[in-house]
């Protein structure tokens, strides 16, 4: 009779594996490495300590701690068993990677640095030190493996489309090289031949759904959205992307961007590529290239924090600590930027402001404040964990020569040399910003919010209501007509020179001023479509900057734009070192005048220190923001 006892071995009582006991690392540049092997199809490994200065050989892994994509599973932890039988719990996504990578080379031991295994996540002090050297860890890796997760229903086709893009783009470049030309806007700029596969025989766009699916690949895969991506992808070490059992080169991504840009810009019918998800890839690639382009100015702390705030992180402090690894060592060693996971979120975010006050010009950093109170910070402290839906365009600050667009403080010489002029005052867990300023006005009327980048009908309602209710043909503060003053206010009286700079003075308004007020919306709605010759200059009107703002009128009759969460009764301030005007809300039940910060504002006729020439205002004094 056959013995079936072996079939029931799984039901025998077994001892529960013990959790791995991490030993303290011996030096500031010490790391742990895990050597992976497989036995009977099961991956296991051994941890060993190494010193970075000894240049150990290893691969670093970049991956998402949570689900690789929506619907990828419940994310339940899985045991990773070490050779001595001890266990480290890892995420399901990491376990998927381990299963795949050992199948590639099942008989060959492989050495990796993987944060979830190689860092004692329960030791806040060790984690702080290891995060501080993480850029060096990735820089020294022999190769960075970027794990995008296991396959979903379309990923194999998407990766095949990537390979086709790479092959096609290489063929296009060879054609341009042979012809001695590059792409132009002339007909046939992108060779439309059947063998290149852009179009069907009747000229229609070929594989439109395949293009959309490929764009969606970058939207769906969470790796492209996480904050640690920027630090793990920017190093110049060799990289390899992995999705399931398929690997591909980062060069494919450059080819995708080149090809989609060519098709979108030069070939009719491919306009849909703009909204297909490729902007996610372009954002990551542009940020990476900014660190390797010697012609660009080095990125500042503020630059990298602003870039990373819209990315995902399970710990809000990672929104600060992850970008710091991209900065020069001198900045990382500043006490205010010290990586310390024992500090609460609000202290970490406030410490960043302390650094920015010392290193940035004036109060430029205040444009990062949005109405998110996910972190229990003071109202004037930027919440670097703010969600995508709350961030909007800051007011313009500089022209193409780097000079200030506005001069709200005028020629007034505030005692900025005095260390007490602008400072952070801490009282236990409370932080205040003390700054010299002058109370200019009070908001008495607010119009509807523009919730869309170019909601022309909302903007039109502002124009019509202001001209109807404010009365008079002249704006008393500048001598312009009321219509011209309103139009200058909603365009912030600037013309964009490029994506980052502006020129003062909106000179295209004569195309609108001669029209009846009710006709202006029609012209504005044609701005993007460019269907009207008279509307063409209006493309320079940055109506997208009205996003999430409201039209406001003050007690003294000034008109302008304020954040959408402003209220009637809010005060308008000019603050020392501030490149624009600001709205703040007075706290009533306090023994002294204190204000919560609301946001940046533009008020026509007050942006160049005109308050100094009028008798409407008082004198500068200390303003306390809480």
Mean pLDDT of the chain: 83
Taken in order 255, 261, 263, 269, the sign of the CA dihedral is positive
Position 7 scores a pLDDT of 40
Q: What are phi and psi of 561, to 5 degrees?
A: -120, 140
Residue 488 CA to residue 482 CA, distance in Å, equals: 10
Position 540 scores a pLDDT of 45
Both structure tokens of 247: 């690997």
Residue 203 CA to residue 188 CA, distance in Å, equals: 13
Q: Give residue 372's pLDDT band: very low, low, confident or very high (50, 70, 90).
A: low
Position 268 scores a pLDDT of 82
Residue 359 CA to residue 427 CA, distance in Å, equals: 24
Position 554 scores a pLDDT of 96
Q: What is the pTM of this model?
A: 0.85
pLDDT digits (tens, 9 = 90+) for 442-491: 999 999 887 766 567 788 888 889 988 887 778 999 998 898 899 889 88
Position 46 scores a pLDDT of 95
Q: In 14-131, which ranges are E strands?
A: 30-39, 42-51, 59-62, 78-81, 87-90, 110-113
506, 543 contact by CB (below 8 A): no
Q: Look at residues 115, 58, 117, 62 and name the one whose alpha carbon lies nearest to residue 88.
A: 117
> Is residue 491 helix, strand or coil?
coil
Pairing between β-strand 571-575 and β-strand 581-587 as defined by DSSP bridges: antiparallel
Distance of CA 354 to the CA centre of its chain: 21
Residue 81 CA to residue 252 CA, distance in Å, equals: 36
Position 21 scores a pLDDT of 94
Strand partners, 602: 561
Residue 223 CA to residue 296 CA, distance in Å, equals: 27
pLDDT digits (tens, 9 = 90+) for 519-561: 675 565 554 444 444 443 444 455 667 888 999 999 999 999 9
Position 393 scores a pLDDT of 77
Residues in Cβ contact with 453 at an 8 Å cutoff, skipping those fewer than 6 apart: 543, 544, 547
At residue 190, does pLDDT exceed 90? no
Both structure tokens of 289: 């290239």
| Interior angle at CA 364, CA 362 and CA 368, nearest 5 | 145
Give the residue with greater pLDDT, 454 vs 563. 563
Q: Look at residues 353, 391, 435, 369 and name the one whose alpha carbon lies nearest to residue 597.
A: 369
Residues in Cβ contact with 59 at an 8 Å cutoff, skipping those fewer than 6 apart: 110, 111, 112, 113, 141, 142, 143, 144, 145
How much is the average pLDDT of 362-388? 83
pLDDT digits (tens, 9 = 90+) for 263-316: 888 778 888 888 778 989 998 888 888 877 766 677 888 988 988 888 888 899
Give the residue with greater pLDDT, 463 vs 213. 213
Q: Give residue 509's pLDDT band: very low, low, confident or very high (50, 70, 90).
A: low
Lowest mean pLDDT among 429-433, 494-498, 616-620: 494-498
Three-class DSSP labels, 181-232: CCCCCCCCCCCCCHHHCCECCCCCECCHHHHHHHHHHHHHCHHHHECCHHHH
Q: What are phi and psi of 606, to 5 degrees?
A: -130, 5
Residues in Cβ contact with 302 at an 8 Å cutoff, skipping those fewer than 6 apart: 356, 360, 364, 365, 368
Provide the residue count of the chain: 626
């Amino acid at each position: 009779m056959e013995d079936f006892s072996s079939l029931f071995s799984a039901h025998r009582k077994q001892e529960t594996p013990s959790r791995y006991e991490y030993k303290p690392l011996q030096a500031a540049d010490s790391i742990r490495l895990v050597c992976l092997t497989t036995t009977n199809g099961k991956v296991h490994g051994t941890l060993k300590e190494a010193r970075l200065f000894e240049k150990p050989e290893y691969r670093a892994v970049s991956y998402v701690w949570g689900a690789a994509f929506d619907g990828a599973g419940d994310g339940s932890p899985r045991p990773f068993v070490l050779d001595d039988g001890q266990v480290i719990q890892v995420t399901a996504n990491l376990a998927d990677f381990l299963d795949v990578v050992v199948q590639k080379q099942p008989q060959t031991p492989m050495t990796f640095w993987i944060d979830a295994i190689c860092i004692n996540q329960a030791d806040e002090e060790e984690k702080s030190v290891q995060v501080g050297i993480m850029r060096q860890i990735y820089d020294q890796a022999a190769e960075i493996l970027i794990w995008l997760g296991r396959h979903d229903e379309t990923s194999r086709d998407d990766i095949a489309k990537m390979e086709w893009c790479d092959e096609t783009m290489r063929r296009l470049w060879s054609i341009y090289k042979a012809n001695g030309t590059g792409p132009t806007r002339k007909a046939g700029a992108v060779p439309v031949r059947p063998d290149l596969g852009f179009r069907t025989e009747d000229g229609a766009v070929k594989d439109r759904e395949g293009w959309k699916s490929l764009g969606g690949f970058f939207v769906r895969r969470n790796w492209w959205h996480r904050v640690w991506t920027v630090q793990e992808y920017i190093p110049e070490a060799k990289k390899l992307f992995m999705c399931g059992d398929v690997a591909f080169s980062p060069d494919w991504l450059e080819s995708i961007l080149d090809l989609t840009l060519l098709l979108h810009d030069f070939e009719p019918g491919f306009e849909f590529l703009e909204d297909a998800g490729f902007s996610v890839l372009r954002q990551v690639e542009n940020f990476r290239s900014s660190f390797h382009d010697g012609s660009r100015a080095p990125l500042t702390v503020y630059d990298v924090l602003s870039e990373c705030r819209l990315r995902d992180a399970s710990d809000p402090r990672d929104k600060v600590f992850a970008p710091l690894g991209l900065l020069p060592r001198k900045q990382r060693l500043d006490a205010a930027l010290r990586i310390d996971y024992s500090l609460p979120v609000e202290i970490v975010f406030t410490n960043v402001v302390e650094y920015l006050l010392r290193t940035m010009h004036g109060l430029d950093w205040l444009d990062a404040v949005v109405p998110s109170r996910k972190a229990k910070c003071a109202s004037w402290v930027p919440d670097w964990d703010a969600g995508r839906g709350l961030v909007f365009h800051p007011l313009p600050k500089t022209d193409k020569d780097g000079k200030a667009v506005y001069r709200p403080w005028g020629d007034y010489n505030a005692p900025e040399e005095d260390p007490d002029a602008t400072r952070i005052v801490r009282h236990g867990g409370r932080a205040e910003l003390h700054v010299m300023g002058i109370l200019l006005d009070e908001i008495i009327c607010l119009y509807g919010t523009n919730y869309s980048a170019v909601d022309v009908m909302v903007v039109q309602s502002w124009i019509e209501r202001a001209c109807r209710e404010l009365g008079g043909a002249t704006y008393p503060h500048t001598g312009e007509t009321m219509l011209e003053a309103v139009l200058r206010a909603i365009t912030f009286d600037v013309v964009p020179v490029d994506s980052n700079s502006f020129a003062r003075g909106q000179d295209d308004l004569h195309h609108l001023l001669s029209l009846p007020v009710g006709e202006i919306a029609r012209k504005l709605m044609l701005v993007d479509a460019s269907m009207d010759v008279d509307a063409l200059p209006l493309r320079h009107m940055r109506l997208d900057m009205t996003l999430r703002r409201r039209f406001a009128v003050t007690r003294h009759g000034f008109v302008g734009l304020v954040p959408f969460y402003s209220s009637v009764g809010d005060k308008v301030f000019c603050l020392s070192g501030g490149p624009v005007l600001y709205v703040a809300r007075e706290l009533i039940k306090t023994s002294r005048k204190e204000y919560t910060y609301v946001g940046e504002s533009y008020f026509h006729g007050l942006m160049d220190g005109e308050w100094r020439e009028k008798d409407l205002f008082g004198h500068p004094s200390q303003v306390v923001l809480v």
